[in-house]
Amino acid sequence: MKTTGGTDDQKRRAGERAAELVEDGDVVGLGTGSTAAHAIRAIGRAVDDGLDVRGVPTSFDSRALARRSGIPRCSLDEVDDVDLAIDGADQIDADLSAIKGGGAAHAREKVVDAAADRFVVVADPSKVAESLSRPVPVEVLPDALAAVERDLEALDGDPTLRRAERKDGPVVTDNGNLLLDCDFGVVDDPASLSTALSGLPGIVEHGLFVDLVDAVYVGTDDGVDVRE
Ligand code: 5RP
């Protein structure tokens, strides 16, 4: 389930502006996806120019991009604090609740983003909505797939196993698990749904991010719209 809609220029503006928030000595959470990638590249250029930072990648892909960009990397358990996390989103509502996981990385993203003193979402205008309505990615232990599908249906969800685009078979996350994209229609109460999903056995993590986002940088055709 990859999100499209915005232009690469819009994403670049958002990512590059958010990268300007990084200060010397910071530990920075490095998000996943095409918008966060612009931030990672910009941080890499700043490192070339002498900025002293360490990045905590949120996925295999963001780790690889950080390495190629020359950003020193560390894991969450090596640091006392994450100063700032910059990450993308699939949809973000007026209260700054978000749906993430289009890149299958939301479990590690949530750990890193939640650990940050400040979590900034970078997005293009197609991600902004009044209410959340996209299917919610749910990472599931493979042995629990059928049981979780039943539990999600009992919550009035309509789960679909995410399949790999370029090969036969399901998407497997960096953590070796499966993904269900669960359609709940318009999510009227993201906090309640988040709590309900977190209580289901077999769910490793879901893609509802409630009360975590501090600001959204939306790249437009001629600038960046900041919401906080
Ligand atoms: C990965 C994510 C991404 O941040 C989200 O899918 C947005 O990606 P993009 O910036 O490429 O549209 O949540 O799990």
pLDDT exceeds 70 at position 1? no
- Dihedral sign for Cα atoms in the order 136, 96, 185, 6: negative
pLDDT digits 0-9 by tens, 14-59: 999 999 999 999 999 999 999 999 999 999 999 999 999 999 999 9
- Tell me the average pLDDT across 61-76: 97
Contact 228, 218 (CB under 8 A): no
- Tell me the average pLDDT across 108-137: 98
- Tell me the average pLDDT across 115-140: 98
Q: Is the pTM of this model over 0.90?
A: yes
The answer to whether 157 is a known ligand-binding residue is no
Q: Answer whether 100 contacts ligand 1 (Cβ < 6 A).
A: yes
For residues 208 and 1, the model is more confident at 208
Q: How far is the CA of 42 from the centre of ligand 1 (A)?
A: 17
Q: Answer whether 113 contacts ligand 1 (Cβ < 6 A).
A: no
pLDDT exceeds 70 at position 3? no
Q: Are strands 54-57 and 82-87 parallel, antiparallel or unpaired?
A: unpaired
- Tell me the average pLDDT across 152-181: 95
- Dihedral sign for Cα atoms in the order 103, 210, 189, 130: negative
At residue 167, the pLDDT reads 79
Q: Answer whether 106 contacts ligand 1 (Cβ < 6 A).
A: yes
Q: Answer whether 149 contacts ligand 1 (Cβ < 6 A).
A: no
* Candidate from 11, 35, 99 with most ligand 1 atoms within 8 A of CB, to mutate: 35
Q: Is 109 a catalytic residue?
A: yes
**Closest-lying ligand 1 atom to the alpha carbon of residue 2:** 6
ipTM attached to this prediction: 0.98
The model's confidence at residue 5, banded by pLDDT at 50, 70 and 90, is confident
The secondary structure element, H or E, covering residue 205 is strand 203-206
At residue 4, the pLDDT reads 57
- Tell me the average pLDDT across 55-76: 97
pLDDT digits 0-9 by tens, 186-228: 999 999 999 999 999 999 999 999 999 999 999 999 999 999 9
Check 109, 139, 149, 205 and give the catalytic one: 109
SS3 state of residue 41: helix
Residues in the chain: 228
CA–CA dist 57, 82 (Å, integer): 11
